[in-house]
Structure 1
Amino acid sequence: MALMLAILGINVVAFFAFGWDKRRAERRMRRIPENTLLGLALFGGAAGALLGQRLFRHKTRKQPFAALLWCAMVINVAALVIWLSPEMRAQLGF
Protein backbone atom coordinates (compact mmCIF):
# COMPACT_ATOMS: atom_id res chain seq x y z
CA MET A 1 0.00 0.00 0.00
CA ALA A 2 2.81 2.40 0.89
CA LEU A 3 4.49 1.72 -2.47
CA MET A 4 1.30 2.50 -4.37
CA LEU A 5 0.88 5.78 -2.47
CA ALA A 6 4.50 6.68 -3.23
CA ILE A 7 4.01 5.94 -6.93
CA LEU A 8 0.82 8.00 -6.98
CA GLY A 9 2.60 10.84 -5.20
CA ILE A 10 5.57 10.97 -7.59
CA ASN A 11 3.18 10.93 -10.57
CA VAL A 12 1.20 13.85 -9.14
CA VAL A 13 4.43 15.77 -8.54
CA ALA A 14 5.68 15.02 -12.08
CA PHE A 15 2.35 16.09 -13.59
CA PHE A 16 2.33 19.42 -11.76
CA ALA A 17 6.04 19.97 -12.49
CA PHE A 18 5.25 19.95 -16.22
CA GLY A 19 2.43 22.44 -15.69
CA TRP A 20 4.61 24.66 -13.53
CA ASP A 21 7.47 24.57 -16.05
CA LYS A 22 5.11 25.42 -18.91
CA ARG A 23 3.75 28.39 -16.98
CA ARG A 24 7.25 29.62 -16.18
CA ALA A 25 8.27 29.20 -19.84
CA GLU A 26 5.33 31.33 -20.99
CA ARG A 27 6.30 34.04 -18.51
CA ARG A 28 9.99 33.82 -19.46
CA MET A 29 10.98 32.94 -15.90
CA ARG A 30 13.59 30.54 -14.57
CA ARG A 31 12.66 27.00 -15.58
CA ILE A 32 12.76 23.55 -14.04
CA PRO A 33 15.84 21.79 -15.47
CA GLU A 34 15.11 19.03 -17.96
CA ASN A 35 17.17 16.62 -15.85
CA THR A 36 14.80 17.24 -12.94
CA LEU A 37 11.74 16.57 -15.09
CA LEU A 38 13.32 13.40 -16.49
CA GLY A 39 14.40 12.33 -13.02
CA LEU A 40 10.85 12.59 -11.74
CA ALA A 41 9.72 10.46 -14.67
CA LEU A 42 12.49 7.89 -14.26
CA PHE A 43 11.90 7.37 -10.55
CA GLY A 44 8.26 6.37 -10.90
CA GLY A 45 6.51 9.42 -12.29
CA ALA A 46 6.54 8.68 -16.01
CA ALA A 47 2.76 8.35 -16.34
CA GLY A 48 2.19 11.70 -14.64
CA ALA A 49 4.95 13.29 -16.68
CA LEU A 50 3.52 12.03 -19.98
CA LEU A 51 0.03 13.12 -19.00
CA GLY A 52 1.35 16.56 -18.03
CA GLN A 53 3.34 16.78 -21.25
CA ARG A 54 0.23 16.09 -23.32
CA LEU A 55 -2.26 18.12 -21.30
CA PHE A 56 -0.05 21.21 -21.01
CA ARG A 57 1.40 20.70 -24.52
CA HIS A 58 4.86 21.13 -23.10
CA LYS A 59 8.08 19.70 -24.54
CA THR A 60 6.18 17.52 -26.98
CA ARG A 61 8.50 18.13 -29.95
CA LYS A 62 11.78 18.58 -28.14
CA GLN A 63 14.18 15.72 -28.85
CA PRO A 64 15.77 13.74 -27.33
CA PHE A 65 13.69 14.80 -24.31
CA ALA A 66 10.43 13.29 -25.59
CA ALA A 67 12.12 10.00 -26.45
CA LEU A 68 13.82 9.84 -23.05
CA LEU A 69 10.45 10.42 -21.39
CA TRP A 70 9.05 7.36 -23.20
CA CYS A 71 12.13 5.35 -22.17
CA ALA A 72 11.39 6.30 -18.56
CA MET A 73 7.84 5.01 -19.05
CA VAL A 74 9.14 1.66 -20.34
CA ILE A 75 11.47 1.41 -17.34
CA ASN A 76 8.60 2.28 -14.96
CA VAL A 77 6.34 -0.39 -16.45
CA ALA A 78 9.12 -2.99 -16.37
CA ALA A 79 9.89 -2.21 -12.73
CA LEU A 80 6.21 -2.46 -11.83
CA VAL A 81 5.84 -5.82 -13.59
CA ILE A 82 8.89 -7.13 -11.75
CA TRP A 83 7.62 -5.80 -8.43
CA LEU A 84 4.15 -7.28 -8.86
CA SER A 85 5.36 -10.65 -10.11
CA PRO A 86 6.69 -12.97 -7.39
CA GLU A 87 8.17 -15.23 -10.08
CA MET A 88 10.13 -12.38 -11.66
CA ARG A 89 11.41 -11.19 -8.26
CA ALA A 90 12.52 -14.73 -7.41
CA GLN A 91 14.39 -15.10 -10.72
CA LEU A 92 16.17 -11.80 -10.16
CA GLY A 93 16.98 -12.64 -6.55
CA PHE A 94 14.79 -10.03 -4.87
Structure 2
Amino acid sequence: MNHLWLSSLLLINLIAFALYGIDKAKAIRHAWRIPERILLTCSLLAPLGSGLGMFAFRHKIRKPYFHLATLAGFILWAAAAYVFFKLS
Protein backbone atom coordinates (compact mmCIF):
# COMPACT_ATOMS: atom_id res chain seq x y z
CA MET A 1 0.00 0.00 0.00
CA ASN A 2 2.91 2.37 0.69
CA HIS A 3 4.14 1.93 -2.89
CA LEU A 4 0.76 3.04 -4.21
CA TRP A 5 0.85 6.10 -1.92
CA LEU A 6 4.35 7.11 -3.00
CA SER A 7 3.73 6.41 -6.68
CA SER A 8 0.59 8.53 -6.66
CA LEU A 9 2.35 11.33 -4.83
CA LEU A 10 5.26 11.27 -7.28
CA LEU A 11 2.97 11.20 -10.32
CA ILE A 12 0.80 14.16 -9.34
CA ASN A 13 3.85 16.20 -8.40
CA LEU A 14 5.50 15.49 -11.74
CA ILE A 15 2.30 16.54 -13.52
CA ALA A 16 2.14 19.76 -11.50
CA PHE A 17 5.79 20.52 -12.25
CA ALA A 18 5.17 19.94 -15.96
CA LEU A 19 2.06 22.16 -15.97
CA TYR A 20 4.05 25.08 -14.54
CA GLY A 21 6.70 24.58 -17.22
CA ILE A 22 4.11 24.36 -19.99
CA ASP A 23 2.34 27.48 -18.77
CA LYS A 24 5.61 29.41 -18.60
CA ALA A 25 6.50 28.37 -22.15
CA LYS A 26 3.06 29.46 -23.33
CA ALA A 27 3.41 32.78 -21.50
CA ILE A 28 6.68 33.48 -23.31
CA ARG A 29 5.05 32.72 -26.69
CA HIS A 30 1.87 34.67 -25.81
CA ALA A 31 -0.13 31.50 -26.49
CA TRP A 32 -3.25 30.12 -24.82
CA ARG A 33 -2.53 29.70 -21.10
CA ILE A 34 -3.44 27.20 -18.43
CA PRO A 35 -6.06 28.83 -16.16
CA GLU A 36 -4.77 30.02 -12.79
CA ARG A 37 -7.42 27.99 -10.96
CA ILE A 38 -5.84 24.82 -12.41
CA LEU A 39 -2.38 25.87 -11.25
CA LEU A 40 -3.74 26.82 -7.82
CA THR A 41 -5.43 23.42 -7.56
CA CYS A 42 -2.08 21.84 -8.41
CA SER A 43 -0.51 23.87 -5.61
CA LEU A 44 -2.99 22.41 -3.15
CA LEU A 45 -2.84 18.83 -4.36
CA ALA A 46 0.82 18.63 -5.39
CA PRO A 47 2.72 21.27 -3.43
CA LEU A 48 6.22 19.90 -3.98
CA GLY A 49 5.94 19.73 -7.77
CA SER A 50 4.18 23.10 -7.88
CA GLY A 51 6.72 24.79 -5.64
CA LEU A 52 9.64 23.37 -7.59
CA GLY A 53 7.94 24.34 -10.85
CA MET A 54 7.35 27.88 -9.63
CA PHE A 55 11.00 28.41 -8.80
CA ALA A 56 12.60 26.30 -11.55
CA PHE A 57 10.66 28.14 -14.25
CA ARG A 58 10.42 31.44 -12.33
CA HIS A 59 6.69 31.37 -12.94
CA LYS A 60 3.99 32.87 -10.69
CA ILE A 61 6.57 33.72 -8.03
CA ARG A 62 5.36 37.30 -7.68
CA LYS A 63 1.80 36.28 -6.82
CA PRO A 64 1.47 35.72 -3.06
CA TYR A 65 -1.66 33.60 -3.35
CA PHE A 66 0.35 30.95 -5.19
CA HIS A 67 2.78 30.81 -2.27
CA LEU A 68 -0.13 30.57 0.17
CA ALA A 69 -1.78 27.80 -1.85
CA THR A 70 1.49 25.86 -1.94
CA LEU A 71 1.93 26.26 1.82
CA ALA A 72 -1.68 25.14 2.37
CA GLY A 73 -0.94 22.14 0.15
CA PHE A 74 2.06 21.16 2.26
CA ILE A 75 -0.07 21.40 5.40
CA LEU A 76 -2.83 19.35 3.74
CA TRP A 77 -0.40 16.62 2.65
CA ALA A 78 1.29 16.55 6.07
CA ALA A 79 -2.09 16.07 7.75
CA ALA A 80 -3.10 13.39 5.23
CA ALA A 81 0.20 11.55 5.66
CA TYR A 82 -0.14 11.68 9.44
CA VAL A 83 -3.64 10.21 9.31
CA PHE A 84 -2.67 7.63 6.67
CA PHE A 85 0.39 6.35 8.53
CA LYS A 86 -1.27 6.59 11.92
CA LEU A 87 -4.10 4.31 10.77
CA SER A 88 -1.88 1.79 8.99
Query: TM tier, shorter chain?
Result: 0.7 to 0.9
Q: Distance in 1 between matches of 2:32 and 2:74?
A: 27
Task: Select which of 26, 29, 36 maps to 2:28.
Answer: 26
Residues 20 and 54, structure 2, Cα contact 8 Å, conserved in 1: yes
State the superposition RMSD in angstroms.
Answer: 1.5
Determine the structure 1 residue equivalent to 2:58: 57
Matched, 1:46 2:43: no
Structure 2 unaligned spans of 5+: none
**Per-residue CA distance 1:25-46 (angstroms, 9 max, x = gap):** 1111111111111212322x11
Q: How many residues align?
A: 86
Q: Is the 8 A contact 2:43 2:69 kept in 1?
A: no
Q: % of aligned pairs identical?
A: 34
Whose Rg is larger? 1
**Which 5+ residue runs of structure 1 have no aligned equivalent?**
90-94
